[in-house]
Structure 1
Amino acid sequence: MTTELSPDALTGLLERARQDYQALVGRGLSLDLTRGKPAPEQLDLSEDLLSLPDGRHAAADGTDVRNYGGLQGLPELREMFAEVLQVPAAQLLALGNSSLELMHDCLVHAMLSVVPGAETRWVDQERIAFLCPAPGYDRHFSLCERFGIDMIPVPMTPEGPDMDAVERLVAEDPAVKGIWCVPKYSNPTGDSYSDATVARLAAMPTAAPDFRIFWDNAYAAHHLADEPVEIADLLAACAEAGNPDRVFVFGSTSKITMAGAGVAFFGSSPENVRWLLAHNAKRSIGPDKINQLRHVLFLRDADGVRAHMERQRALLKPKFEAVGRILEAELGGTGLATWTSPKGGYFVTLEVPEGCAKEVVRRAAEAGIVLTPAGATHPYGDDPRDAVIRIAPSYPSPAEVEQAIEGLAVCVRLVGYEKRAA
């Protein structure tokens, strides 16, 4: 990342960066790039949901959605998302509005009851650990901290987690019970898992018989490029490899329709589905089937989901293009940064010189540009290189995105040149 500069050239660049930063602070900006939230315009695309089900209260099989029951969710909605999530409809559950809630509950049930294939509850074992591809999703890490699960970082590559490291760790340590995966357009790098990675995850020997892959397919339909990325079917690969119970698949409509009123999905082997349903029956008499019917009537089928996501893409793509365009114009050739150009998902990963990420984030905040805390992309909030910054351009307006990235580039130049001059 280093570009050689003469002392005089460096002095000049640093002085200009300081002047630009003072001008930036003087603008009095108030911009937020912290979370990957849908913008109001994206939510407006699903406004018709609020007028549904328009007096209808019967599902396709005649079920009265106003009443109790239906722990598996509406069959027609499960059928609609079976293709999207690569799970047979019979093995897919449509539940509440949050896939994060489902991940939480699966951890709770694994702690307090025996997972299929296990001999004891996780809570009765001396130590539980999860592999955490990094950079990764901070809320996965928060769940581990909540339950006292040790986190073992594994480097993330353009094809998924470093599988040599994964295979070695799961084979030698029976305390390793799981791995977090965002397989398509990963948070925050935008990388997608290769077919080879999926095959190795499905077939690898594990010391723990109850090892689980938490397959958080949050961006299954969230394409930015003209040619959508497709990933291999992990659930089918696990079954073929003789490990049918290995994977828990999660997904939701949170960034498809309305983030606060979507539908979450769980998919797995028949045995795992029976396991979760048995425990869910003790905490709920059924999901919000009225909301599920709304989604059926609004999206109609898998083609309807794809058409709706094309409208989402039309709103998101210009923002991501602006991020790349401005970073290239402001930082290209400086040797101060590299960044991802994702083909889907909700994030861009910016990498700055080692030891600079926290200071860049701090300077940006002082200038009114709030970013996700540096380190949040790594277990325990600790990026050992202090180099990764997650950019979430979805929520601000296009003009605000441009202002924020221009300001962020100023902060990168200031901190980067200060470090070189030190």
Structure 2
Amino acid sequence: MDTPSNTTSLEQLKDAYEEARGKHLKLNMSRGKPAPSQLDLSSALLGAMDSYMTADGTDARNYGILDGIPECRQLFADLLGLNPDRMIIGGNSSLSLMFDIVAALCLFGTGGNRPWQHYRYAGTPVKFLCPSPGYDRHFRICEELGIEMIPIPLNEEGPDMDLVTTLVRQDPLIKGIWCVPLHSNPGGVCYSSRVVEELASMETAARDFRIFWDNAYGIHHIYEEVALKNILDACEKHGHPERTYYFFSTSKITFPGAGVALIASGPGNIKELKGHMSAQIISYDKLNQLRHVRHFKTPENIRAHMAMLADELRPKFDLVLSKLEMGLKGTGFASWSRPKGGYFISLDTRPGCARRTVALAKEAGVVLTDAGATYPYGKDEKDSNIRIAPSYPTLEELDAAMDIFILCIKIAALETNNSK
């Protein structure tokens, strides 16, 4: 479908929209799912292993080793610059680890401090800072556990640190902050070394303030490799070794439903977490851990695998960005991010147009992430942010979807103009 020009009237745009809707397309771009071609790159993982014994002689088919087999901890420690002795390898989902840890803090507290639920029952729930636009599933954890969320503007270097440092210094009920520090979801923001240092060193009114450092896209470079300062090292240097919980997973590296996730933190936190986990599980899937170690062997092999994944994703990001340039540049109808890596592109329509755009696209067969989902409580005060997830569709499908999406942005913008 040819995208109507930037001077096309609203009536002509709606005619083109009806034509598109008549094609009864079914294109889903609502989540950042790896495409089958990406998953195929990890097919060798599914081959049978000729031995199930770990390096220390443990039979991976049996019970034991709560914190994960040593060679798996070492592999990811070497890849990410972490301490293998301050790490727990979990199941396939880092999100599960995040939920379990926040829930444990609510139930038991940490470091001898009161459980966070105490404040909720007293009528003054604890609060989290939420750099926005951000990851909707982080916000869902807070909603589920009754934690109040405070949106924080996300700038080119990371969260607005003037606001963050002021708030955490003044309010002891602010207990945490969500961070996706590299190629953030959805804007592709990469935290600067200055921001990392400030997060690690800032004064907080809450003794049990915690940074939830979700480094989901830490090695997902598409156009340019970006270095990230080590938050755990920075926290230890500034005398806050327990401040950060660091998360990572292979969900978008190998298989989302059968990957490996990890949590790294200070020694006190790891000891606490192992205590809680020992009541919940005897051991995570050591066979899967061993399978990943045998498949990748070295951090260099993981990086080579990521280069192949980048080659799969780059044409899709190129297509989306070129379509946006051709269809919307100079209109004033939208602006968008140009990420160096990650999985998403963040687009801002004119205020008041995002929900209408997403609804129009859905009617025409293109399903996008709900407008507002990238903000706490689903409330984008400007009603402008939309997350674009290009990974799953084929290039042909993505080309058709972007034509419809751009058409919907224009219709929503012109409708808004006419209503004024």
For this structure pair, what is the TM-score category when the shorter chain's length is used for normalisation?
A: over 0.9
Equivalent-residue separation in structure 2 for 1:370 and 1:154 (angstroms):
27
Paired residue type of 1:75 = P
Equivalent-residue separation in structure 2 for 1:323 and 1:398 (angstroms):
10
Tell me if structure 1 keeps the 8 A contact 2:6–2:327.
no
Paired residue type of 1:133 = P
2:361 match: 364
Paired residue type of 2:62 = N
Q: Does the residue aligned with 2:9 lie in a helix, a strand or coil?
A: helix
Q: Which runs of 5+ in 2 are unaligned?
A: none
Deviations 1:274-321 (A, max 9, x none): 111111111111111001000001111101110111111111111011
2:76 match: 81
1:150 match: 148
2:345 match: 348
Tell me if structure 2 keeps the 8 A contact 1:360–1:412.
yes
Q: 1:83 to 1:55 in 2, by over 3 A?
A: closer
Matches within 5 A, 1:5-16: 12-16=8-12
Matches within 5 A, 1:242-391: 242-391=239-388
Q: Does the residue aligned with 2:330 lie in a helix, a strand or coil?
A: coil
Equivalent-residue separation in structure 1 for 2:197 and 2:105 (angstroms):
25
Q: Of 207, 214, 217, which aligns to 1:216?
A: 214
Deviations 1:363-392 (A, max 9, x none): 001100000000000000000000000000
2:62 equivalent to 1:64: no
Tell me if structure 2 keeps the 8 A contact 1:10–1:417.
no
Q: 1:55 to 1:12 in 2, by over 3 A?
A: closer
Equivalent-residue separation in structure 2 for 1:11 and 1:283 (angstroms):
61
Q: Of 391, 402, 411, which aligns to 1:394?
A: 391
Paired residue type of 2:195 = T
Deviates more, 1:15-24 or 1:157-166: 15-24
**What is the aligned-residue RMSD (CA, Å)?**
1.3
Equivalent-residue separation in structure 1 for 2:86 and 2:301 (angstroms):
22
Q: 1:119 to 1:401 in 2, by over 3 A?
A: same
Equivalent-residue separation in structure 2 for 1:276 and 1:22 (angstroms):
55
Give the drift of 1:10. Answer: 9.3
2:39 equivalent to 1:43: yes
Q: Of 113, 120, 139, which aligns to 2:114?
A: 120
Equivalent-residue separation in structure 2 for 1:314 and 1:281 (angstroms):
41
Give the drift of 1:119. Answer: 2.3
Matches within 5 A, 1:160-199: 160-199=158-197
Q: 1:338 to 1:73 in 2, by over 3 A?
A: same
Q: Does the residue aligned with 1:350 lie in a helix, a strand or coil?
A: strand
2:22 match: 26
Paired residue type of 2:215 = N
Deviations 1:179-212 (A, max 9, x none): 0000000000011100000000000000000000
Give the drift of 1:113. Answer: 1.2
Equivalent-residue separation in structure 1 for 2:256 and 2:158 (angstroms):
26
Equivalent-residue separation in structure 2 for 1:92 and 1:13 (angstroms):
58
Give the drift of 1:12. Answer: 4.8
Tell me if structure 2 keeps the 8 A contact 1:87–1:268.
no
Deviations 1:237-291 (A, max 9, x none): 0000111110000110111101100011000011111111111111111111001
Paired residue type of 2:107 = L
Q: 1:10 to 1:298 in 2, by over 3 A?
A: closer
Give the drift of 1:11. Answer: 8.4
Tell me if structure 2 keeps the 8 A contact 1:102–1:266.
yes
Tell me if structure 2 keeps the 8 A contact 1:84–1:302.
yes
Deviates more, 1:348-357 or 1:67-76: 67-76
Q: Does the residue aligned with 1:156 lie in a helix, a strand or coil?
A: strand
Tell me if structure 1 keeps the 8 A contact 2:168–2:204.
yes
Q: Which runs of 5+ in 1 are unaligned?
A: 1-8
- Quote the sequence identity (%): 48
Give the drift of 1:89. Answer: 1.3
Equivalent-residue separation in structure 2 for 1:350 and 1:119 (angstroms):
41
Equivalent-residue separation in structure 1 for 2:186 and 2:13 (angstroms):
28
Tell me if structure 1 keeps the 8 A contact 2:242–2:266.
yes
Equivalent-residue separation in structure 1 for 2:412 and 2:200 (angstroms):
43
Equivalent-residue separation in structure 2 for 1:66 and 1:389 (angstroms):
44
Q: Of 98, 101, 105, which aligns to 2:96?
A: 101
Deviations 1:319-362 (A, max 9, x none): 01100001111111111111111111110011100000000000
Equivalent-residue separation in structure 2 for 1:114 and 1:332 (angstroms):
50
Equivalent-residue separation in structure 2 for 1:102 and 1:91 (angstroms):
15
Equivalent-residue separation in structure 2 for 1:44 and 1:276 (angstroms):
35
Runs of 4+ in structure 1 over 3 Å off: 9-12, 83-86
Give the drift of 1:111. Answer: 1.2
| TM value normalised by structure 1 | 0.95
Equivalent-residue separation in structure 2 for 1:385 and 1:245 (angstroms):
37
1:420 match: 417
Deviations 1:5-44 (A, max 9, x none): xxxx998532332222122112221101100011111111
Paired residue type of 1:361 = V
Equivalent-residue separation in structure 2 for 1:197 and 1:144 (angstroms):
24
Equivalent-residue separation in structure 2 for 1:134 and 1:95 (angstroms):
28
Deviations 1:82-112 (A, max 9, x none): 1433321111211111100000110111111
Q: Does the residue aligned with 1:249 lie in a helix, a strand or coil?
A: strand
Paired residue type of 2:268 = E
1:3 match: none
